[in-house]
A and B are shown apart, each in its own frame.
Chain A
Amino acid sequence: MSSEQKILSTDGIPLEESLKQAEKKNKIKAFLLVTPLLLFLIITYIIPIADMFSRSIDDKMVTNMLPKTYKAMEQWDGKELPPEEVFKAFYLDYKILVENKTAGKLQTQLNYEKNGFKSVLKKLARKQKKFEEGNYKEQIMKVHKRWRNVDYWRAIKRRAPAYTYSKYLKGVDMYSNEDGKIVQVAEDRRIHRILWSRTLEVAFFVTLFCFLMAYPIAHLLATLPMKYSNLLMICVLLPFWTSLLVRTASWMILLQQQGLVNDFFVWIGLVTDDNRPEMMYNKTGTYVAMTQILLPFMVLPLYSVMKTISPSLMRAGKSLGATPGVAFFKIYFPLTIPGIGAGCLLVFILAIGYYITPALVGGASGTLISNQIAYHMKSTLDWSFASAMGLMLLTGVLVIYWIYNKLVGVDNIKLG
């Protein structure tokens, strides 16, 4: 048998090829197992999230309300007042809107574009019933002198594109003004920026508090003998398994003005009975409740890392002359950094998107960006703005998730 001759499998196919085929078959088999879930998630979850993007830039409302006007405006260069056809088209479009009682939406939308447009349009709605046929330009301009101002017509034209990024600008309290420049809204109306910074602030401090509280107890759990640590572990796991609403409810009872925490403060003489501090429906409530609720998510990753650190390392350090403090900071602490990273990022990601607890104990000064998204979804029904804010939040979370993946790897998440 020469070395050139290929080794054959029992079927007479060269072995190399046969192995390749088997490999391919295995690959397909593995992929087929994942396919049901992958398809399910892509259809019901990934595509809808992507769809939020098209919803957030969708701006066809005004375009659909003034179809004739925008067709007539195609020829207009925007320098002088538009020609008669545009006036006529606008009159016809607007007449239909007034008859269908949907003119209010247009008035609001155009008022965003140019302040004072609403009253001009309202006056036109009243007067145009008596319009005669022909020469609409003259008739409209007679109703209000602002119709002679080309700025108002430019405002309509600016509203023409069916896609807009204005919702994203609104999310950071900016808008594009009459000249198309991007400027900030008036200082007293910058509510969203306050919410963003508050969300970041709350997430940061909750993460910090969780870390400061979790580190000692994770260390204790990891170093105690098994029979004690199992018992104490229940203190961590029971809240972890308990309903979020139950835990929020218990904080609502504890933190109310006649609640146990205030009773305790009065008892130790910190405050007087008739001067009990308000601890709920503000930021304090949000901080306290969120820290307790998210604490297990910090303890568990820290614990699983600390469990793997051999106690003999600290003993070796001490025997070589390090004080317990030095040994801790030079040996133990650096070894726990993967756990710290995992715990902090997990808590931060959870905290940044928190909704239920701030809504219940946060009051007006303790609500976060998620509450604003829910508000626009349910109350104002401005779904495109809710989508835009949601995607901005999602981008932030994905960046953090990416860092998490780089630092610890998603496969290393441990549960319980």
Chain B
Amino acid sequence: MALPKYTEPHYRIWHYFYLFICGCVFFFLIAPLFVIFPLSFNAEEFLVFTDGMKRLDPDAFSTRWYKDMVYGTKNPWGLAAKNSFIIAIFATIGSIILGTLAALGLSSRHMPYKGLIMATLISPMIVPLIISGVAIFFFMAKVGLAATHLGIILAHIILGTPFVVITVTATLSGFDHSITRAASSLGSNPFNTFMKITLPLILPGVISGGLFAFVTSFDEVVVVLFLAGLDNTTIPVQMWTGLREQLSPTILAVATCLIVLSILILVTAELLRRRSERLRGINR
């Protein structure tokens, strides 16, 4: 934003200082992510920029860590990735179904005890993860679901539903209920009304809540650390183990893949948000 011509010099200085501070903060936020990218192509085993890399010598770069990630002999990443995706997908589906139903009920103006129930439903988001982890572990151990995929999926549904509830409730806040009444008065049954009228309109909210649930599950490590056995290891658990024991460049290769994934998710979420705002008639 350009300053008007009549701005006094000391305000001008102050303004540039402010822009400089903002620049520093943005740099602080985003720069760490880009350190990983070049280092994951390091030809050496060390996690520092070698002299060759500083000279941009092509020999100093290689894709060996990516090969190691995919083909490595004792590599756990294949299994971990498979588990991560299975768990995240089922947890997302579960969160979406339970969360959307609950949000529909919560946004009805007839809902009794709304505040209390809302607080209960989003409590997994507020309670520190370590406490959720301990409590869920006690429960899963008692019902014999510790160290099973199902146990971890259920745990991630618990952690993921608050996001769906919040996003779908927000979408429904601008929802015109007379449309569904019109549908019923024209003879549509409630299920049909939901599938044909309500769902298409709230879909952006549902999907973006689902994205949150997916990322929560895909990135979750505290609860999985309590629950997982050897067969249920996920990408975050493997990264956690790797970071604790030895920081190898293979981890950076995995991290780079995860950053690419998060860029994809960011783009999807952003497109959805705009579509949702357009549908709800919020123009800026």
B residues near A393, Cβ cutoff 8 Å? 128, 130-131
Complex contact B219–A245 (CB within 8 A): yes
Complex contact B29–A292 (CB within 8 A): yes
Known: A44-B136, A49-B135, A397-B126. A30 touches B108 (CB 8 A): yes
Complex contact B128–A246 (CB within 8 A): no
B residues near A416, Cβ cutoff 8 Å? 208, 269, 273
- Whether, in the assembled complex, A415 has its beta carbon less than 8 Å from a beta carbon of chain B, the answer is yes
Complex contact A251–B32 (CB within 8 A): yes
- Whether, in the assembled complex, A237 has its beta carbon less than 8 Å from a beta carbon of chain B, the answer is yes
Give, as a whole number of angstroms, the nearest-CB distance from A400 to chain B: 9
Known: A41-B121, A226-B284. A217 touches B22 (CB 8 A): yes
Complex contact B22–A216 (CB within 8 A): yes
Known: A34-B111, A49-B135, A237-B270. A245 touches B221 (CB 8 A): yes
Complex contact B128–A216 (CB within 8 A): no
**Which residue from chain B places its CB closest to the CB of A372 in the assembled complex?**
B130
Complex contact B25–A217 (CB within 8 A): yes
Segment from B59-67, B70-78, B236-244 that makes contact with A = B236-244
Q: What is the CA–CA distance of A386 and B131 in the complex, to the nearest angstrom?
A: 9
Complex contact B130–A247 (CB within 8 A): no
- Whether, in the assembled complex, B182 has its beta carbon less than 8 Å from a beta carbon of chain A, the answer is no
Q: Which of B11-31 contact A (CB under 8 A)?
A: 11, 18-19, 21-22, 25-26, 28-30
Interface of A, helix, strand, loop or mixed by DSSP: helix
Give, as a whole number of angstroms, the nearest-CB distance from A415 to chain B: 6
Complex contact A260–B169 (CB within 8 A): no
Most chain-B CB neighbours within 10 Å: which of A36, A47, A225, A239? A239
Complex contact B240–A356 (CB within 8 A): yes
Interface flags for B111-124 (1: CB within 8 Å of A; 0: not) read 11000011111111
Give, as a whole number of angstroms, the nearest-CB distance from B266 to chain A: 5
- Whether, in the assembled complex, A316 has its beta carbon less than 8 Å from a beta carbon of chain B, the answer is no
- Whether, in the assembled complex, B43 has its beta carbon less than 8 Å from a beta carbon of chain A, the answer is no
Bin the interface of chain A by size. 35 or more
- Whether, in the assembled complex, A286 has its beta carbon less than 8 Å from a beta carbon of chain B, the answer is no
Complex contact B36–A34 (CB within 8 A): no
Complex contact B262–A40 (CB within 8 A): no
A residues near B259, Cβ cutoff 8 Å? 242, 246
- Whether, in the assembled complex, B101 has its beta carbon less than 8 Å from a beta carbon of chain A, the answer is yes
Complex contact B130–A410 (CB within 8 A): no
Complex contact B101–A33 (CB within 8 A): yes
**Which residue from chain A places its CB closest to the CB of B27 in the assembled complex?**
A235
- Whether, in the assembled complex, A403 has its beta carbon less than 8 Å from a beta carbon of chain B, the answer is no
**Which residue from chain A places its CB closest to the CB of B264 in the assembled complex?**
A241
A residues near B85, Cβ cutoff 8 Å? none
Known: A27-B112, A397-B127. A234 touches B138 (CB 8 A): no
Complex contact A223–B247 (CB within 8 A): no
**Which residue from chain B places its CB closest to the CB of A256 in the assembled complex?**
B47
Complex contact A27–B32 (CB within 8 A): no
A interface residues, Cβ below 8 angstroms from B? 23, 26-27, 29-38, 40-42, 44-49, 51-52, 55, 213-214, 216-217, 220, 223-226, 232, 234-239, 241-254, 256, 258-260, 292, 295-296, 324, 349, 352-356, 359-360, 370, 373-374, 377, 383, 386-387, 390-391, 393-394, 397-398, 401, 405, 410-411, 413-416
Knowing that A248-B243, A253-B252 touch, tell me 16 more A-B residue pairs with CB under 8 angstroms: A30-B108, A31-B105, A45-B139, A45-B158, A52-B134, A216-B25, A235-B29, A241-B266, A242-B258, A246-B33, A373-B134, A377-B137, A390-B130, A390-B134, A394-B131, A398-B126
Q: What would be 27 A-B contacts, judged by CB atoms less than 8 Å apart?
A: A29-B105, A29-B110, A37-B161, A41-B120, A41-B121, A45-B132, A45-B136, A52-B134, A225-B1, A235-B30, A238-B263, A243-B255, A245-B243, A246-B33, A249-B243, A249-B247, A250-B36, A250-B255, A253-B35, A253-B36, A253-B39, A349-B126, A353-B127, A353-B130, A360-B243, A377-B226, A390-B135
